[in-house]
A = this chain, B = another copy of it.
Amino acid sequence: MQLEQIVMSLRDEGHRITPQRIAIMDYLLHTKDHPSADQVHSVVRKRYPMTSLSTVYKTLDLLREKKLVNEIEVWGEARFDAQVDEHINLVCLNCGNIEDIDEKALKNIQAKIAKKSDYLIIKGSFEMHGYCSKCKTEFQ
């Protein structure tokens, strides 16, 4: 997804385009990190020092509503993922680094569950926890 398209679709829906929103969206679109709200704030601040943490939270909310970012929780903290296609997040129990893994078998499982269960399924979230390549030696 391109920044320009997102900007246009937001404008279409009557949202205003602000430098803060552009800065936040631009960062999310170009990082493979899965940053927390605070990390987003720190990074965006370097270029646009007038951005407040409140605004970061509200912008992330807006982007989540528009399904432009995905939100996952790690250790009681929200982490944001610009990759919105269904995938598996590998979370490092030591450093908190998150890596994406695509696994097509996921879709099959989800479809099966959706049929089997009484629930009206909206979305799935699959995480695996362990130690990343950098950390696993420390914990052998």
A residues with CB within 8 A of B: 73, 76, 88, 90, 92-93, 99, 101, 103, 105-106, 108-110, 112-114, 116-133, 136, 139
Residues of B within 8 A of A76 (CB): 73, 76
B126 touches A126 (CB 8 A): yes
**Complex Cα–Cα for A106 and B133 (A):** 23
B101 touches A128 (CB 8 A): no
A133 touches B112 (CB 8 A): no
Given A124-B126, A128-B124; A109-B119 close (CB under 8 Å): no
Given A76-B76, A117-B99; A122-B130 close (CB under 8 Å): yes
Partner of A103, one of B93, B109, B125, B136: B109
Residues of B within 8 A of A120 (CB): 130-131, 136, 139
Residues of B within 8 A of A108 (CB): 105
* 8 nearest A-B pairs in the assembled complex, by CB-CB distance: A118-B133, A121-B130, A120-B136, A119-B130, A122-B130, A120-B131, A124-B128, A126-B126
Residues of B within 8 A of A109 (CB): 103, 105-106, 109
**Complex Cα–Cα for A76 and B124 (A):** 17
